[in-house]
Amino acid sequence: MIHRLLAALGLGRNARPAAIPEPLWRSTVAGLPFLAALNREEQGNLKQLAEAFLADKSFTGAGGLVLTDAICVSVAAQGCLPVLNLGLHWYKDWSGVVIYPDEFVIPRQIADETGVVHEYDEVAAGEAWSGGPLILSWRDVLLADEGYNVVIHEFAHKLDMREGEPDGVPPLHPGMNQEHWIEVLDAAYEDFCARVDAGEETWIDPYGAEHPGEFFAVLSETFFTFPEAVRDSYPALYALFVRFYRQDPAARLPYPPALPRRAATAAVPPASRASRTC
């Protein structure tokens, strides 16, 4: 039955979009507060995007995971949120989504200053390949919470990769100044790294201090799932994100006027801090 339903959804590259059954869509949205906060029109537009995404991209289960309609619809709905007002063409030029049941191992190589190549294995919850698939751990997808969303994180990397290696500077819309974006992003990144290095607890996942590209991805997932954390910590960058994504998530819910500068990070799963890559 699952295979018939997945086929009906049009899973597979260049398949004809088919409607996601309403009960499945409602349960998907209801289980994710940041999607439930969308108004009726936004939810309708997101559903159409998710249907088109399911038709355009291939979905593959790995590591013994058997894909279900609920898994694929959940990933598509969350992944399409960043392009809700941008369009699905922002996700062109890559093939599909691979989903493991849990964290997965990625073989890595790194050359030291003497030129010696060292090989090691990295355990990851998500991975985005330039021009290739996007890889996710379903266990980590289920851990979605305020400030942590591996789906949005990896999809943000895909946006950042549209003009080369991820560096925190995605293709900007006409009227947006790249120099200003870099200036604001760099100032926020340097401040965030200093806070993390000083051992300060933050509302934003410390993994964002790894690299400007990771900072953009972490800030993107936080922007959509815990927007007041970005708005109150880095208001100038939040304003740029509003212009880039053409959404204002903080306006969707009755958030408190401000958050304390210091806050516990216990709500952020420990695995998120060193296992999402690009």
- Taking the model in full, what pTM does it have? 0.85
E strand intervals along 129-233: 134-137
pLDDT band at 132 (very low <50, low <70, confident <90, very high): confident
**Is residue 127 helix, strand or coil?**
strand
CATH code for the domain defined by 2-161 = 1.10.472.150
Task: Report the C-alpha gap between 235 and 184 in whole angstroms.
Answer: 10
In the chain, list all ranges with CATH 1.10.472.150: 2-161
Q: Is the pLDDT of residue 4 over 80?
A: no
In the chain, list all ranges with CATH 3.40.390.10: 163-277
Q: What is the mean pLDDT of residues 150-154?
A: 97
In the block, which residue shows the tokens 């993994």?
207
The pLDDT tens digits of the residues spanning 188-199 come to: 999 999 999 999
Q: What is the mean pLDDT of residues 202-210?
A: 95
pLDDT at 120: 47
- Fold classification of 163-277 is Collagenase (Catalytic Domain) (3.40.390)
Other residues' Cβ atoms within 10 Å of the Cβ of residue 218: 29
Task: Report the C-alpha gap between 70 and 247 in whole angstroms.
Answer: 26
Q: What mean pLDDT is reported for the chain?
A: 86
Q: Is the pLDDT of residue 143 over 90?
A: yes
Contact at 8 Å (CB) between 128 and 141? no
Region of poorest pLDDT, from 32-46, 111-125, 161-175, 177-191? 111-125
pLDDT at 215: 98
Task: Report the C-alpha gap between 94 and 134 in whole angstroms.
Answer: 8
